[in-house]
Chain A
Amino acid sequence: MKVVYFAWVRERVGKAEEIVEPPAEVSTVGDLIGWLAGRGESYAHAFEAPNVIRAAIDHAHAPPQTVIAGAREIALFPPMTGG
């Protein structure tokens, strides 16, 4: 699945998007954030405070318990500061 990052999450991970293939036991947004955090130092830094990370699945907000099966694009980003 495609994962996209924004703002300081993007800067810390060091890339704007990538294709990932998490194992089957990674079933929710929260699981995905935890799994990504274990992929190396930059990911650990980006996801060191998982409760701060916001997510969207296919352009709609998705709380941590949302199941990711079938998602085309998952976005992970900090709390929004527009307006």
Chain B
Amino acid sequence: MSTIHLIGLNHRTAQVEVREKFALVEFTSPEKWPFLCHKQGISSVENKLAVKESLILSTCNRVEMIVVYDGDYEDLLKVWCETKGADINELRACMYHYEDMEAVRHLFRVASSLDSLVLGEPQILGQLKAAYRLSVNAGHAGLLINRLLHKAFSVAKRVRSETAVASSAVSISYAAVELAKRIFDDMSEHKALLLGAGEMAELAAMHLMHCGIKELKIVNRTLSRAEELVQKIGGEAYTFDALESCLVDTDIVISSTGSMEPIIHAEFMQDVMQKRKKRPMFLIDIAMPRDIDPAVNHLDNVYVYDIDDLKEVVEENLANRKTEASKASQIVDEEVKAFEFWRGSLSLMPTIMDIENKGSKIASEEVAKTLRNLEHLGIHSAELQEALEKMAHSIVRKCHHAPLDYLHNSYKHNSGEQNTALIRQVLKLDE
């Protein structure tokens, strides 16, 4: 059976600079995918590691890959580092690696937002769904990834509905708005700008809108996406060409583009500040890699907060949510066991198929024999043949019900493989 590997780094294990370096945001199409899937044929693309299934999750707080692979996980690290042109030892120093059920547990915790910077925040589920879509499009989602992700989504739903882990309005966007209130007195007198139309920025913008922000501008590379968002949350849409004029006119900026390089530099902001007569500006950079050069924070009347600066929200709320998180962890444990059982039962499939095939063969042989005898007696009709076949197969299925049930149950008690061998021996399936 192949091993499920989960390797990654997150806000706890790596600083924002390291996460930027190892971010895997460029794998947006099948051609760009770092791995080759076994079923795609090894000769089609050179220099790519062939794996059975894979999924890549790259957000501002975590970079993870889930790979179903028979070899050593070191091969996966090499691929990661070669892709990013980074040192493998640097990756080793801040990464984690889980196998099989530990990997499943981790993924379920991530999906349920139990491993998030802000416990219970909803964005991660959307990001995981997007990562799954990319994996499916790349042809890398097979039996295990499909089942694992669908299960992860249902676990997240269960955690949200059965616990209060995500009940209070605490998120990165909440922290951003709280900080904005330290700079601006009356939110209704200030304008906000959304740079990039990502999900996190959308949430923060919605939060600002709820606080009564005067006006919202959305600047995006593609105008259509900005307009789409405008339809959803209001405001005005612009392309990047209008960035400078928009910055001159707005006081709060939330940036979350997918750009690999900073978009807002100190020199650029200096010009902007001159034009806006140095009125204060608050810039919230939740993009990964960062969109705003950290040097911008050194300018007068400009306040820049990046994703790590917003970490404090965790400290403020973690204590209140611990009880709920422990309940959620119990749900995750239950679901991991269920997944383990399902995965174990996968190895039962060949035996079930063999039992059914053998039973079907016996039933068909016996029906044929009976029909021949009846023909000698002058009795034959299509209805009779159909009735006999139905009866024979039904008897076989009923006879096999007890041993198959026994096999299913034995997987629940960790004796599945042993009992499978016994059943195969008793029913002479290998003869």
Instruction: Please indicate whether A and B come from the same complex rather than being unrelated chains.
Output: no
Interface residues of A (CB under 8 A from B): none
